[in-house]
Chains A and B, each alone.
Chain A
Amino acid sequence: MEKELKILKYSDLSKLIERFHAKGFPVLAPVRKGKVVEIELVESLGDIALDVLLSTQSAKKTAFPKVEKVLKYTLAKSGVTQHPVDPDTARETILFGVRPCDASGFKSLDAIFGEAPGDQFYLKKKEKTAIISFSCPEADEYCFCTSVGGGPGNTAGSDLQFTGIGKDEILVEILTEKGKQIAAIFADLLSDSPAGVDKTKFLADVKVVFDSDKVVENTSASFNNAALWLEQSLRCIGCGACAFVCPTCACFDFQDEQNTKQGVRLRLWDSCGFSLFTLHTSGHNPREVQSQRWRQRIMHKFSYMPQQLHVVGCEGCGRCSRACPVDMNIKEHLTAIAQVG
């Protein structure tokens, strides 16, 4: 649909949260918790950290939580009885105050979980999530969204995008049908946008540092370049921080937990950085050392996903690099890969 532009007063933002709650929609937004910024349920505008660069973890937990029950079962002498878990129990939820990279991150997850027959646990939650993103007036040295096809004002994946344009005014872009329905809740607070409002004036300047096509090409050709992967990964300690904070990482593990009478099957986040990730029952591990696992991380995002799902598995949000305990900086690594050969 043709996007609509409206103006909202910044001072009316708190009314939006009230209206959403009045309609019975929970609101998830960035909240400060000490040094980290988590995305959580909020009661009012005052709870929301709108001035942070971005949340520590991505917003993927709204449709792909860190622990998710996918099956229940009971145990008796006669055997095991399965009790299916309804994947469609989420309420219509509004994800508010996230960044463009959060919203566009969902396109990788949509591609992965949407592949036929479709993962209902993800899809049903995602269907029920409306995304109101705020464009970025600032960026830091970890951000590189513009190098992977995104940007501080990118609207991909958002239902509505808000941009502060000064003088207590917010430019509201209504981008989807769902966005239209959400906007209807506060239609009386919206006024028509004057012609020629240029939001790019209010966006951060995020310089392009590499050509992502070149990165995809070089990555795909570098499987055997052992020295490259070793050099980049020597300080990597093999934790899961990067994968877990990443908006596009979707690998998961299943674990059954039970007592003598009943049990649950849980889906959990997993990381290709863990040494156990590819350990076979035979004891053989095709990715025995960290450089092989680092190679996998980069190739999955910049070679396999583009080939198979036609999407680059990275939004340039830089969360992985900020969260990394040993300062693995993916922007640096990708820039180096772009220059290979």
Chain B
Amino acid sequence: MSELIKKVTQLLNDKTVDVFIGYGKGSADRIRAIFVRSADQTEKLVLNSACTQNLAGYILKHEVKHLGKIGVLANVAALRSMLQLASEFQVKDGEVLVLFANPDGTLTEFIDFNSIEVFLTTTDTGITSDEQERIAQLEALTVSERWNFWNKEFEKCIKCYACRAACPMCYCHRCTTDVNQPQWIPVASHERGNLDYHLMRAMHLAGRCVNCGECASACPMDIPLNLLTYQLISPIKTDFGATAGMKADAVYALSTYKPDDKENFII
């Protein structure tokens, strides 16, 4: 951990970065994102198993970008987010300094997207077995039971949009849900409004979601939103051979096609 503090102190002193986004002690036993801007603040950086937030969400935030050159402590999810953002032309190669904490305590500095791509082939990037289990349990229910499950979950939804705000892929300046000419997605947090919003978001994330789980951890009402987007990852891989966040020059699965894409439901 002091490896990290040493490194970040050096980066700030050399003015290689103007702000470093890492983890710091939060309220109670929480960890929060911190924005270190000078060498005397680096001692606030912490690194432990509770440091799971996907910090890539901040690299597009206007007021963070305005601080200058950004350095970020990325976990696997954040690395994938960055590649996905790069494939969508939101971040350029070398624009953000990326540090990764290896399990043995050493740090890796990724000098370009290519090195991140290579690294990701050597590490586990899929959804956890618990998450797979939950999806399998839901898939084993009848359609009607699933409708009841999701509607019961969505009853809790207050349309705070924490899921959208926390997701690194939801960076659209004008989200579909905020468009009112026409109002595609009802603003209200009633059953129809919640169902439409969550289905729309899952569709807009299909082929882009890097299974970081921020949506579900951000939700103040504890709705397992990540399952909706995660469930699409497997068919998109099987049917289109596409996985998000693995290559900086990947093409979005839904803006391309193969003439012989297979399906069994079109007559």
A interface, CB within 8 angstroms of B? 33-36, 38, 56-57, 66-67, 140-142, 230, 233-235, 237-241, 243-245, 253, 255, 257, 266, 268-269, 271, 274, 276, 289-291, 321, 323-327, 329, 332
Contact = CB atoms under 8 A, between A and B. Distances in A.
A33 to B, nearest CB: 7
Given A241-B160, A289-B62, A325-B219, 11 more contacts: A36-B156, A36-B222, A234-B35, A237-B218, A241-B218, A244-B160, A245-B158, A268-B159, A269-B158, A289-B63, A326-B218
Nearest to B222: A35
Contacts of A276: 178
B27 A268 contact: no
26 contacts: A36-B220, A36-B221, A66-B159, A67-B190, A67-B193, A141-B27, A141-B28, A234-B35, A237-B61, A237-B162, A237-B218, A239-B165, A240-B160, A240-B161, A240-B162, A241-B160, A245-B220, A253-B187, A255-B186, A255-B188, A289-B62, A325-B220, A326-B32, A326-B166, A329-B26, A329-B27
B30 interface: yes
B234 interface: no
B161 A274 contact: yes
Interface string B176-204: 00100001001111100100000000000
Contacts of A140: 28
B220 A241 contact: yes
B222 A235 contact: no
B253 interface: no
Nearest to B218: A325
Nearest to B29: A141
Contacts of B64: 234
Interface string B210-223: 00001001111110
B33 interface: yes
Contacts of A38: 156
B160 A239 contact: yes
A244 B63 CA distance: 24
Nearest to A68: B188
A271 B164 CA distance: 15
B63 A255 contact: no
Contacts of A327: 26-27, 30-32
B58 interface: yes
Contacts of B126: none
Interface of B: 26-28, 30-35, 53, 57-58, 61-64, 156, 158-162, 164-166, 178, 183, 186-190, 193, 214, 217-222
The 5 A-B residue pairs with the shortest CB-CB distance, nearest first, are: A325-B218, A237-B165, A323-B220, A327-B32, A239-B162
A325 B222 contact: no
A54 B165 CA distance: 26
Contacts of A329: 26-27
Contacts of B26: 327, 329
A230 B63 contact: yes
Contact of B63 (A67, A269, A290, A324): A290
Contacts of A268: 159, 187-189
Contacts of B156: 33, 36, 38
B188 to A, nearest CB: 5
B166 A237 contact: yes
Contact of B220 (A56, A269, A289, A290): A56
Given A38-B156, A237-B166, A239-B218, A291 B63 contact: yes
Given A57-B158, A142-B28, A290-B61, A257 B188 contact: yes
A271 B221 CA distance: 17
Contact of A271 (B61, B160, B186, B190): B160
B165 A257 contact: no
Contacts of B218: 237, 239, 241, 325-326
Contacts of A325: 162, 165-166, 214, 217-220
A235 B32 contact: yes
Nearest to B193: A67
Contacts of B35: 234-235
A235 B183 contact: no
Contacts of B27: 141-142, 321, 327, 329, 332
Max chain B CB contacts within 10 Å: which of A67, A230, A237, A323?
Answer: A237
Contacts of A230: 63
Contact of A239 (B31, B164, B183): B164
B187 A239 contact: no
A66 B156 CA distance: 11
A237 B57 contact: yes
B91 to A, nearest CB: 18
A234 B158 CA distance: 24
Nearest to B31: A327
A301 to B, nearest CB: 18
A33 B156 CA distance: 9
A290 B53 CA distance: 20
B153 to A, nearest CB: 10
B217 to A, nearest CB: 7
Contacts of A243: 160
A238 B60 CA distance: 13
B177 to A, nearest CB: 10
Nearest to A34: B222
